[in-house]
């Protein structure tokens, strides 16, 4: 090293660093940041343009342009703290990801990946190959395919097996779930002709048998995930349905692979449908499975191949980040206890009352509140009758009222989403991870101290 040269070292990534520990790469990135003047000018121009348009349109009310500028610079999609007690909260992104799934997303996002490249052969590969063997192992199916969401899985399955033909569905399963997903409309979009059998509350095997014809492409069983019929009811179990001389598409909804958890017994098991002989079993990745948004299809090799060949398959394919998260999530299911501990949705379902009491106490103490007994819900259209009792922190909002306090909690960074009941703001610790309790308590303390 020449006399007078600054001493150099290596940073944690191996890049050369100066004596102050800052690597040349970091310095380059710091220099590439826009100047304050440039950034401020861009935001100011956008704000003034919007304000001028509002004034011309007749909006003469006062507006804090500085606060509007701050809001403009915040990302729209943000992390929030879920204290609602709804585990699979559709509005809050459904199931949170396990640590291993989040790390997998970061790895896949860091540069390029072998998404559709065969490293052994050095030729083009298939993105489906990354998950097929794992899904066969976990479900016992002959083959598997993954698309971008559960509704897409049902649409593709119906189009592949019954497009241009009849698809038989029980009248009790002509359901609508969140977002206006209606079975009759899905069947129509798949190019199949809907054949209704049975009644709203009772459908027998003989009803299906009477509807079979040379035009039949398949039978669809749709799980009524967000409601239940009780009383004078009858339905055909999957084993009986698979005895029919027609391929069965079984939409089991939430994707239960944790068969050992007793409270999930009312949700249809993926493995049971595969064992029964369903041609295609469709389920979601981001509900009780506890992974990212995805639609999974497992079943017979010929039926899965038909779905993979269908033109819709490319339009509905899963992206690389979701694929990475899903692979990491599914890998946890190789060990039932590990899955139960590491997948947040399953951990929230099975957390002990003693642990909830500790968390609720920390939240209540932070805001001068008290602990009350409440009920959490699964959400996401799963197990609508299941109630999860436990301790909840109840905050007295004071003269401002519960709506005002709930709004102020939402305005925090990160936003804390609560629920209101009997004039009080409730914070349910079941849907807050252990490390989030401290954040939530700090927010409450700053507002109510």
Handedness of CA 46, 52, 53, 54 (dihedral sign): positive
Structure tokens at 75: 């990302």
- Residue 24 in tokens: 């040349």
Packing angle, helices 320-332 and 129-139, rounded to 10: 30
Q: Domain coordinates of the chain in residue numbers?
A: 9-73, 81-93+345-448, 99-335
CB 98 within 8 A of CB 344: yes
Q: What is the pLDDT along the chain (449 residues), one digit of tens a residue?
A: 444 444 455 545 455 555 556 777 777 776 765 565 666 777 777 777 887 888 778 877 777 766 776 676 678 899 999 999 999 999 999 999 999 999 999 999 999 999 999 999 999 999 999 999 999 999 999 999 999 999 999 999 999 999 999 999 999 999 887 667 789 999 999 999 999 999 999 999 999 999 999 999 999 999 887 677 888 889 999 999 999 999 999 999 888 999 999 889 889 999 999 999 999 999 999 999 999 999 999 999 999 999 999 999 999 999 999 999 999 999 999 999 999 999 999 999 999 999 999 999 999 999 999 999 999 999 987 888 889 999 999 999 989 999 999 999 999 999 999 999 999 999 999 999 989 999 999 999 999 87
The pLDDT score that the predictor gives to residue 21 is: 61
Strands 166-170 and 419-421 come out as unpaired
Q: Kind and range of the H or E element at 299? A: strand 295-299
| Residue from 94, 142, 159, 413 nearest 277 by CA | 142
Only one residue has tokens 């949705």, namely 345
For the domain made up of 81-93+345-448, the CATH class stated in words is: alpha beta
Bond preceding residue 414 cis, omega within 30 of 0: yes
What local confidence, expressed as pLDDT, does residue 358 receive? 97
- Bridge pairing between strands 416-417 and 388-395: unpaired
CB 170 within 8 A of CB 142: no
Tell me the CA end-to-end span of the chain in Å, nearest whole number: 58
Inter-residue contact 299 to 270 (CB < 8 Å) = no
Quote the pLDDT of residue 438: 96
Within 8 A by CB and 6+ apart from 90, the residues are: 178, 379, 380, 381
Residue pair 78/414 in contact by the 8 Å Cβ criterion: yes
Strand 166-170, strand 193-197: pairing: parallel
pLDDT at 48: 77
Residue 117 has φ and ψ, to the nearest 5°, of -140, 130
Provide the pLDDT for residue 217. Answer: 97
**Sheet strands (E) in 148-275:** 166-170, 176-177, 181-182, 193-197, 216-222, 248-253
Give me the pLDDT at residue 2, please.
44
DSSP class of 6 = P
Phi/psi of residue 10, each to 5°? -120, 140
Q: For residues 46 and 41, what is the distance between their CA atoms, to the nearest angstrom? A: 9
The number of CA neighbours under 13 Å toward the Cβ of 97 is 23
Q: How much is the pLDDT for 71?
A: 72
Containing 448, the helix (H) or strand (E) segment is: helix 434-448
Q: Which of 249, 260, 324 is nearest to 294 (CA)?
A: 324
Buried b (16+ CB within 10 A) or exposed e, 92-101: bbbbbbbebb
- What's the per-residue H, E or C state across 381-444? CECCCCCEEEEEEEECCHHHCHHHHHHHHHCCCCCEECEEECCEEEECHHHCCHHHHHHHHHHH
Q: How confident is the model at residue 385, as a pLDDT?
A: 81
The third-level CATH classification (topology) of the domain covering 99-335 is: 3.40.640
Nearest in space to 361 (alpha carbons), one of 446, 440, 447, 421: 440
Per-residue b/e over 271-283, b at no fewer than 16 CB within 10 Å?
Answer: bbbbebbbbbbbb
């Amino acid at each position: 090293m020449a006399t007078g040269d600054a001493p150099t070292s290596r940073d944690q990534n191996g890049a050369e660093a100066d004596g102050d520990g800052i690597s040349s790469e970091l310095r380059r990135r710091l220099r590439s940041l826009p100047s304050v003047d440039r950034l401020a000018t861009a935001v100011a121009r956008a704000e003034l343009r919007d304000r001028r348009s509002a004034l011309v349109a007749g909006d003469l009310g006062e507006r804090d342009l500085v606060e509007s500028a701050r809001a403009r610079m915040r990302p729209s999609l943000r992390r929030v703290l879920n204290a609602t007690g709804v585990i699979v909260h559709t509005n809050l992104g459904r199931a949170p990801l396990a640590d291993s799934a989040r790390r997998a997303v970061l790895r896949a996002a860091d540069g390029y990946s072998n998404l559709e490249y065969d490293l052994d052969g050095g030729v083009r590969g298939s993105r489906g190959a990354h998950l097929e063997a794992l899904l066969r192992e976990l479900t016992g199916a002959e083959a598997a395919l993954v698309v971008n969401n559960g509704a897409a899985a049902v649409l593709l399955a119906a189009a592949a097996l019954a497009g241009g033909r009849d698809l038989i569905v029980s009248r009790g399963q002509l359901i609508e779930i969140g977002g206006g997903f209606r079975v009759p409309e899905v069947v129509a979009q798949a190019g199949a002709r809907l054949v209704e059998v049975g009644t709203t509350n009772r459908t027998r095997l003989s009803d299906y048998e009477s509807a079979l014809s040379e035009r039949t492409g398949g039978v669809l069983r749709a799980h009524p995930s967000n409601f239940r019929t009780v009383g004078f009811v009858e339905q055909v179990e999957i084993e009986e349905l698979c005895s029919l001389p027609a391929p069965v598409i079984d939409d089991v909804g939430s994707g239960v692979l944790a068969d050992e958890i007793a409270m999930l017994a009312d949700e249809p098991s993926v493995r049971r449908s595969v064992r029964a002989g369903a041609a295609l079993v469709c389920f979601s990745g981001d509900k009780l499975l506890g992974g990212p948004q995805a639609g999974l299809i497992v079943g017979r090799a010929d039926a899965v191949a038909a779905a993979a060949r269908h033109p819709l398959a490319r339009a509905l394919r899963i992206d690389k980040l979701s694929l990475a998260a899903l692979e990491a999530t599914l890998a946890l299911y190789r060990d039932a206890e590990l899955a139960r501990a590491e997948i947040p949705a399953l951990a929230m379902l099975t957390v002990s009352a003693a642990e909830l009491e500790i968390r609720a106490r920390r939240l209540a103490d932070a805001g001068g509140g008290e602990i009350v007994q409440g009920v959490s819900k699964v959400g996401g259209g799963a197990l609508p009758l299941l109630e999860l009792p436990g301790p909840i922190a109840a905050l007295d909002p004071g003269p401002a009222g519960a709506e005002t306090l709930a709004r102020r909690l939402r305005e925090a960074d990160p936003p804390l989403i609560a629920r209101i009941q009997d004039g009080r703001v409730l914070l349910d610790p079941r849907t807050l991870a252990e490390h989030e309790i401290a954040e939530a308590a700090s927010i409450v303390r700053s507002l109510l101290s």
